[in-house]
Structure 1
Amino acid sequence: MWQDFIDCINARELSTLCAIFRLLLALLLGSAIGLERKRKGQAAGLRTFALISMGACLAMILSIYVPQEYLGLKNGDPGRIAAQVITGIGFLGAGAIIQMKGSVRGLTTAAGIWIIATIGMAVGVGMYIVAIAATLLVLAILSVLEMIEYRISLGHEARTIRLRISGIIHSIDGYREVLSRHHIHLSRVYVDFEYDADYTRLNLLVIVPDRYDFMTVFHDLSRVNSTISISLSNQADLS
C-alpha cells in the first residue's frame, strides 16, 4: 500500500490513485490558506478556497488525462483547460471585490483566490514541492507581513470619517485634497449611493497619529460639496 503511494508521488503517468492523491493535497493546501482568510473574517474562507484549489487541480488532471488516453487526437491542446481556469478565477476575484460596494477591502481575498487556483494547478501537474512552498509563502505574506505593517504603523491609529453628502457625488478628489493638506493618509474608501433619499454616504478610513485633533479637518471637509453631516468612528470599519 505504502509502496503504491510512493510510486504514485513519483509517477510520470496519471493513474486513478495518483489523481486522488493530488486532489487531497490540493484540498489540504487550499484549506490552509482558506482557514487563515476565515480567521480574518473574510467571506471567502475555508470551503471557498478548498473548492477552488480542488477544482483547479481537477482541471489540470483532465488536461493531462485527455492526451494520455486519447493519443489519436490531432487537435487536442492540454493548455486550453488551464487557460479557462485562469479566466474563470478572474471572475471569482472580481466578485470578491464588487461585493464590497466600492471598497477595496476585497483585493487581498481576490489575490488569494487567484494564487490558490494556481497552487491547485501546480498540484494537478505533479509539482508538489513548488505548490507546498507557494502555500507557505502565501501564509507568510498574510500573517508575517501583516505584523510588519502593524509595527511600522506604531504610534498611529486607524479611524473612520463618515460623511453624508447631499445628492450624488461623482468625485472624491476634494476630500482627498483636504486630507492631503492635513497630512492624513487615506487608506480605503467606501461609497454608498442612497438614491431614494438623494444623498451619498462616504466613509473614509484614515491613518492618523494617536489622539489626533480632527476639528480643523472636519471644518475643511464640511466645505467640500454639500456635506450634510460628519462623524468619527474609532473603529476601522467602512461598512
Structure 2
Amino acid sequence: MTLEYILRVVVAGVCGALIGYERRSRHKEAGIRTHFIVSVGASLMMVISKYGFTDMGNWENVSLDPSRVAAQIVSGVGFLGAGTIFMNKQKVKGLTTAAGIWATAGVGMAIGAGMYAVGIGVTALILIVQFAMHGRSAPVLGAKTYTLSVSLVNHTDPVENLLKTLEDNEIYIVKLYSETTAPTQSNSDIPDTHIESEIQLKMEIKFPTSMRTSDVMLILQSQPDVRKIQLE
C-alpha cells in the first residue's frame, strides 16, 4: 500500500510540473518548482489525512474527519497564491498564476485521494485552456534566446515604458540587468548644454518564432527614450 501512496504523490507532482511549465514558459512569478511542490504537498497531506490516522480508529472518544485537512489545504494555498498578485499603475497582475496555484493544489488533493482520472483530467483541461487563450504566444516555447543591450535617456520612467512595450509585443524577458551612468555633457564649451544621465540595460529575451529580429529592432527604435540598441 505504501507504493500506492508514493505513486499518488509522484503523479500529483508530474501534473503540477506540467501546469508550472506553462507558467514558466510565459516567465510568470511561479514556475515548475512552485507548482510541483504545491501539488506534491497537497497530495501528501491528503494521503496523511485519509490513511495517516488509521491506528486511532479503535480509540474511544476520538472522532476523525479527513475533510478538515482538505479544508486547511485550500485556505493555506490561498495565502500562497496571494503572494503572486500585485498591482502596477491600476493594473492587477498575477491573478492567473495565483488561480493556477490554487487549482494545482486541488489537482494534488484529488490524486492524493486516489481520484487519478479527475486530477489528470483537470490538469489537461487547465493546460488546454491556458495554451488556447495564449495561442499567439505558443511559439515562444521553442524560441531562441537573444541578448539585448539598450541605452535609455534617464527621463521619466524610461525602463518601465520600455518593459511595457516589450510585454505588449509579446517579447519576453528571461533576465534583466541595469545600471545608471553618471551625467555627461557632450560639449564643454557651451555651459548651458543640457546634462543628462543614461540607463544601460542588458537583458536576455525571447519572442515568437514568427517575429524577426528586424521587427524587434523597429519596435525598440520607435521608443523616444532609446538611444542605442544592440541585439545579438
Match of 1:87 in 2: 75
Runs of 4+ residues over 3 Å off in structure 1: 98-103
**Deviation of 1:102 (Å):** 6.0
Match of 2:64 in 1: 76
Could you report, residue by residue, the CA deviation over 1:95-144 in whole angstroms, capped at 9, with x for unpaired residues?
A: 11038686422000011001000000000000001111100000011101
Matched, 1:22 2:13: no
Could you report, residue by residue, the CA deviation over 1:216-235 in whole angstroms, capped at 9, with x for unpaired residues?
A: xxxxxxxxxxxxxxx989xx
**Deviation of 1:72 (Å):** 2.3
Change (3 A) 1:37 1:149: closer
Change (3 A) 1:149 1:114: same
CA distance in 2, matches of 1:232, 1:72: 75
Could you report, residue by residue, the CA deviation over 1:82-104 in whole angstroms, capped at 9, with x for unpaired residues?
A: 11000101101111103868642
Matched, 1:40 2:26: yes
Change (3 A) 1:232 1:37: farther
Counterpart of 2:104, as a letter, is: I
Match of 2:17 in 1: 31
Change (3 A) 1:16 1:148: same
- Normalising by structure 2, what TM-score? 0.55
- Normalising by structure 1, what TM-score? 0.54
Match of 2:110 in 1: 122
Change (3 A) 1:101 1:135: farther
Matched, 1:112 2:104: no
Q: Which runs of 5+ in 1 are unaligned?
A: 1-14, 151-163, 165-230, 234-239
Counterpart of 2:107, as a letter, is: I
CA distance in 2, matches of 1:106, 1:97: 4
Alpha-carbon RMSD: 2.8
- Equivalent residue in structure 2 for 1:131, among 95, 119, 122: 119
> Which is further off, 97-106 or 63-72?
97-106
**Deviation of 1:148 (Å):** 8.1
Change (3 A) 1:67 1:110: same
**Deviation of 1:43 (Å):** 1.7
Q: Percent identity?
A: 42
Q: Which runs of 5+ in 2 are unaligned?
A: 139-155, 157-222, 226-232
- Equivalent residue in structure 2 for 1:147, among 135, 138, 153: 135
CA distance in 2, matches of 1:232, 1:114: 41
Counterpart of 1:81, as a letter, is: V
**Deviation of 1:69 (Å):** 3.0
- The 5 Å alignment of 1:155-234 reads none
